[in-house]
Amino acid sequence: MSATKTAVPVIDPSCSPGGGSCFAPADAVISTLEDNRPGRLLDRAERLILGLRLTLALAALCLVAVAGAIYFFLPASRGVADLVAGAGAALVAIPVFIEAWESLKDPSLDGISERLIGLALIAAWATGDLMTAAFLPIIMTIGHVLEERNMLGSGEAISALTRLTEVDVLRLKPGGGSEVVSGKNLKVGDIIELRAGERVPADGIIRQGSSNLDIASLTGESVPVEVGEGNEAPAGAMNLDGRLLLEVTRTGEESTVGRIIALMREAEASKPPLTRMLDKYANQYMMLVILVAGATWLISGSTPAMLAVLVASCPCALALAAPATAVAAIAVAARHGILIKGSGFLEHLAEVSSVIFDKTGTLTTGDLHLAGVEAVEGVDPAVLKQLGASLGAASNHPLSRAAAAAVPKAGRLEIEDAREMGGFGVTGQYKGEVVAMGRADWFGRLGVMVSALPAHVGPIAGVSRNGKFMGWLLFYDQLRSSASAAVQDLKGLGVEHMVLLTGDRTAVAKQVAAEIGVNEVWAEMLPEQKLERVLHEIKNGHKPMVVGDGINDSLALRAGAVGVAMGTHGSDIALASADLALMTNDLRRLGTCIRLSRRCRSTISVNIVMGLAFTFGLVALAGFNVLGHAAPIIAAILHNVSTFLGLGNSGRLLLFDETGAAGAAAVPPTPATA
């Protein structure tokens, strides 16, 4: 029985508690890689092959039943019975030999089962045991189809996600009036109207109205999120009770749903480290089985015993032990608003011994606001604010966005040749003069003398023009309500070492660290320095989880044992550099990640022990000829039992549920100037 498909159901992200089955087939995650039409689990060729194998198996079963009846009721017609049994054996042997041949092109643990069954069939044919030659592939084929049946449920994970945005929506025409269009035909810049009960078809910014959005299908947050003008609305969210005008900002693969689909495809397509290790020794395992089977035949002289050894040694249970569990864990993580790019990171998560946090946008909301300005003598505060906003419009940094938001677009200056200097600030030209906004220590490199730092416990940025310092922009931020609880949760899991890395000032960093319970603080850090600190943690024997959201965090995210990006509001570079993405702002999901990973690892261990126990036990029974003449058939049946026990144990992981913990969005942020 081939283990080429991982038959573990995935949580359907469109389901709601108590609203029916939430299980969708895991293979749906990668089905659209082969067939672009939504709603398809297997492509046409796969469906035809599976149907053909099942049809041949059922036809062969009928022939075997006829042959058995002839053997029993007409003993004198044994030749006819052999002919009928041979016909049945031939029907099911052809697909087995084809798959065994195909598996030789890419030797792995997945194809060993087909090769071993092929060898058993050849041996059965050679010894004239035609009933066994027919029964073996029938039993294994039926078992294979039952595995696939777990993937042929009524819903598909990808299709369920796609359906979240495949809705009709009212699009406003530029010249007045409106038209009904499909969500998949929307373009960036379109203005759409959403009434209560309608689903958001694409990522956008609310331009008019206020409402509550249900984002449980995306993040697992059970409490609706209150939104208004200027707030973002992710694709797939449900508008509960208000009328909204939404400007589309991202569609298709660039939208929130598109990102989730892409991450799920990438995660399911990857192999866990244990599976890769087993694949590495697949050929050696094959040779060992052949030697054991040969020795069994030489010692016992029993062909059924030899055939039983070949069948019992099929490594389906071992081949599925890790992938089945990993896919189940990825599905559960998605239900909690955690997107895991590769199943290998599940094992790394279980071994995390330290956590490194970014500050702005990670421990704080990143929703910065300009609190005020402090201009030097002779500088108009309004001009300082205007210039800062104009420079901020050229950058994606949270401080820059906050500065830009403080002045309407019509009131900003026309900055030319704007450039963002990663970790430092922004430069440009205005009327032929060099203008800059950024960190206090950066102006020294620019040859600009700055004034004394203001007595402001919060983020600040300086502004200069033509080599002269103009003053400071003062910002305020809010600490995430879940930050302190997340730190305590991680400590409860045995992760005691916590580090705060930030490019902000020391006073601000220390205040945030004191509020959430982090002891080690490194402030005023550049991206390269953040990377050095992460590498230092690794050198000291730690396996750090790095949590960040900005461009400045991308190097550190890539270097950590596990990189976690704040996927909802994080930069694209941070998301690409990380191994996991939190689609919710609830930092308590970090503890969920580790608990799920540890549960996943223990489930894999149980599956392996159970698979090995069944395999060795069956081989021992077959080798000592305990099972008698029906040994191959009994071994095939018990082999399938062991495989389904492993799948069932992996399926238990789907019961893991921490979505009852309200997301951070459901709790007002903690006021803080940090």
- The two beta strands, 468-476 and 369-375, are antiparallel
Task: Check residue 156 and give its pLDDT.
Answer: 46
What pLDDT digit, counting tens, does each position of 204-215 carry?
899 988 888 887
Q: How far is CA 476 from the centre of its chain?
A: 33
pLDDT for 550: 66
Q: Residue 191's closest CA among 239, 248, 255?
A: 248
Q: Is residue 44 part of a domain?
A: no
Q: Are 435 and 487 in a shared domain? A: no
pLDDT band of 376, cuts 50, 70, 90: very high
pLDDT exceeds cutoff 60 at 671 = no
* Structural domain range at position 378: 369-476
- Do the Cβ atoms of 4 and 112 come closer than 8 Å? no
Distance CA(404)–CA(420), nearest Å, equals: 14
The Cα–Cα gap between 58 and 373 comes to: 80
Report if residue 627 sits inside a domain. yes
Tell me the three state secondary structure of residue 149.
Answer: helix
Establish if 577 belongs to a structural domain: yes
The CATH code of the domain that includes 416 is 3.40.1110.10
What is the pLDDT, as a whole number, of residue 19? 35
Residue 6 predicted with pLDDT over 60: no
- Do 505 and 526 fall within a single domain? yes
Is 464's pLDDT higher than 90?
Answer: yes
The number of domains in the chain is 4
What totals of helices (H) and strands (E) does the chain contain, helices first? Answer: 23, 26
Does the pLDDT at position 380 exceed 90?
Answer: yes
Q: Are residues 568 and 640 in the same domain?
A: no
What pLDDT does 98 receive? 81
- Which residues have a Cβ under 8 Å from the Cβ of 579 and sit 6 or more positions away? 340, 341, 342, 345, 348, 557, 562, 563, 564
Contacts of 555 (CB under 8 A, 6+ apart): 527, 528, 530, 531, 577
Q: Please answer whether residues 173 and 213 qualify as being in contact, where contact means their C-beta atoms are separated by less than 8 angstroms.
A: no
The Cβ of residue 249 has, within 10 Å, a number of other Cβ atoms equal to 16
Tens of pLDDT, residues 129-170: 777 777 777 777 766 666 555 444 333 455 566 666 678 888
Residue 364, strand partner residues: 479
Q: What is the mean pLDDT of residues 72-96?
A: 82
Return the amino acid letter for 584: T
Local confidence band at 272 (pLDDT 50, 70, 90 cut-offs): low
pLDDT-derived band at 54, boundaries 50, 70, 90: confident
Can you tell me the distance from the alpha carbon of 334 to that of 129, in angstroms, rounded to the nearest whole number?
A: 50
In a domain, 157, yes or no: no
Give the helix/strand (H/E) hosting 449: none
Q: Which of 42-46, 117-121, 180-184 has the lowest mean pLDDT?
A: 42-46
Query: Which pLDDT score is estimated for 115?
Result: 83
Percentage above 70 pLDDT, the chain: 80
**In a domain? residue 404:** yes
Coil, strand or helix: which one is 225? strand
Boundary-marking domain end, from 583, 612, 641: 583
* Residue appearing with tokens 């797939």: 236
Average pLDDT over residues 269-295: 78
pLDDT at 674: 37
3-state secondary structure 162-215: HHCCCCEEEEECCCCCEEEEEHHHCCCCCEEEECCCCECCCEEEEEECCEEEEC
Last residue of a domain, one of 188, 220, 252: 252
- The end-to-end CA distance of the chain, in Å, is 59
Does 231 share its domain with 374?
no
Region 183-189: mean pLDDT is: 85
Rounded to the nearest 5°, which phi and psi values hold at 247?
A: -95, 120
Q: Return the ∠ at Cα 88 (arms to 85 and 93), rounded to 5°.
A: 120
Per the model's pLDDT, the better-predicted residue between 407 and 569 turns out to be 407
467 shares a domain with 373: yes
pLDDT at 12 over 60: no
Neighbours of 646 (CB within 10 A): 26
Is the pLDDT assigned to residue 672 strictly greater than 60? no
Mean pLDDT in residue range 67-87 = 83
Query: Helix 130-149 to helix 109-127 angle, to the nearest 10 degrees?
Result: 160
Residues 354, 490, single domain; the answer is yes
- Final residue of a structural domain among 452, 476, 500: 476
438 is written with which tokens? Answer: 């950024």
Q: What pLDDT is attached to residue 128?
A: 77
Cβ(274)–Cβ(322) below 8 Å: yes
Least confident stretch, 17-31, 160-174, 246-260, 627-641? 17-31
Tokens 């599925």 belong to 320
- Indicate if 378 and 396 belong to the same structural domain: yes
Helices (H), 560-630: 572-577, 589-623
pLDDT exceeds cutoff 90 at 473: yes
Give the CATH number of the domain where residue 224 resides.
Answer: 2.70.150.10
Are residues 488 and 546 both part of a single domain? yes
The Cβ-side half-sphere exposure at 462, using a 13 Å CA radius, reads: 24
What is the identity of the amino acid at 207? R
In this model, does residue 463 exceed pLDDT 90? Answer: yes
pLDDT greater than 50 at residue 8? no
The answer to whether residues 351 and 500 belong to one domain is yes
Assign 183 a pLDDT band (cuts: 50, 70, 90): confident
Q: What is the pLDDT of residue 51?
A: 74
> Among candidates 653, 645, 646, which has minimal Cα distance to 607?
646
For the chain, the average pLDDT equals 78
Q: Is residue 144 part of a domain?
A: no
Greater confidence, 543 or 300? Answer: 543
Residue 662 pLDDT:
41
Residue 410 neighbours by CB under 8 Å, 6+ apart: none
In a domain, 152, yes or no: no
In a domain, 147, yes or no: no
Confidence of residue 390 (pLDDT cuts 50, 70, 90): very high
Say whether both 555 and 500 belong to one domain. yes
What residues contact residue 343 under an 8 Å CB cut-off, 6+ apart?
267, 268, 270, 271, 272, 322, 323, 326, 327, 329, 330
Name 478's bridge partners.
Answer: 671
Provide the phi-psi class of 585: left if phi over 0, else alpha when psi is between -120 and 50, else beta.
alpha
339 phi and psi angles, rounded to 5 deg = -105, 120
The CA distance from 26 to 38, in Å, is: 15
User: Are 391 and 426 in contact, with CB atoms under 8 Å apart?
Assistant: yes
Phi then psi dihedrals of residue 405, to 5 deg: -70, -15
Kindly write down the DSSP assignment for every residue of 495-555, as one continuous string.
Answer: --EEEEE-SS-HHHHHHHHHHHT--EEE-S--HHHHHHHHHHHHHTT--EEEEE-SGGGHH
What pLDDT, on the 0 to 100 scale, is given for residue 565? 84
Task: Give me the pLDDT at residue 384, please.
Answer: 93
Same domain, 439 and 526: no
Quick check: 87 pLDDT over 70?
A: yes
| Predicted structure pTM score | 0.69
Same domain, 609 and 622: yes
* Domain of residue 488, CATH code: 3.40.50.1000
Phi first, then psi, for residue 251 (nearest 5°) are -130, 170
- Contacting residues for 484 by C-beta, under 8 A, at least 6 apart: 515, 516, 517, 670
Selection from 212, 218, 219, 161 nearest residue 588 by Cα: 219
614 pLDDT band, cuts 50/70/90, is: confident
For residue 619, pLDDT beyond 70: yes
pLDDT tens track for 418-442: 888 866 889 999 988 999 999 888 8
Question: For residue 23, what are the contacts with CB-CB under 8 A and spacing of at least 6?
Answer: 9, 10, 11, 12, 153, 155, 654
Confidence of residue 594 (pLDDT cuts 50, 70, 90): very high
Q: Which of 392-406, 488-502, 550-564 has the highest mean pLDDT?
A: 488-502
Give the mean model confidence (pLDDT) for residues 294-312.
84
H/E stretch holding 246: strand 244-250
| pLDDT band of 631, cuts 50, 70, 90 | confident
Is the predicted pLDDT of residue 472 greater than 70, yes or no?
A: yes
